[in-house]
Amino acid sequence: MTKRSIITIPDPVLREVCAPIATVDDDIRALADDMLETMYDAPGIGLAASQIGILKRIFVLDVAKEDAPKEPMVFINPEIVWSSEDLSVYQEGCLSIPDYFEDVERPAEVAVKFLNREGNAQEIRADGLLATCVQHELDHLNGKLFIDYLSKLKRDRVVKKFTKQAKLAGKL
Report the interface residues with ligand GNR, using CB under 6 A.
44-48, 51, 90, 92-96, 132-133, 136-137, 140
C-beta closer to ligand GNR: residue 119 or 128: 128
Q: Among ligand GNR, Ni ion, none, what does residue 6 contact (CB within 5–8 Å per kind)?
A: none
The DSSP-derived string for 37-103 is: HHHHHTT-SEEEGGGGT--BSEEEE----TTSPP--EEEEEEEEEEE-S-EEEEEEEETTEEEEEEE
137 has catalytic annotation: yes
Strand partners, 29: none
What's the one-letter identity of residue 98?
P
C-beta closer to Ni ion: residue 21 or 94: 94
Residue 141 interacts with Ni ion (CB under 5 A): yes or no: no
Residue 94 interacts with Ni ion (CB under 5 A): yes or no: yes
Kindly list the catalytic residues: 137
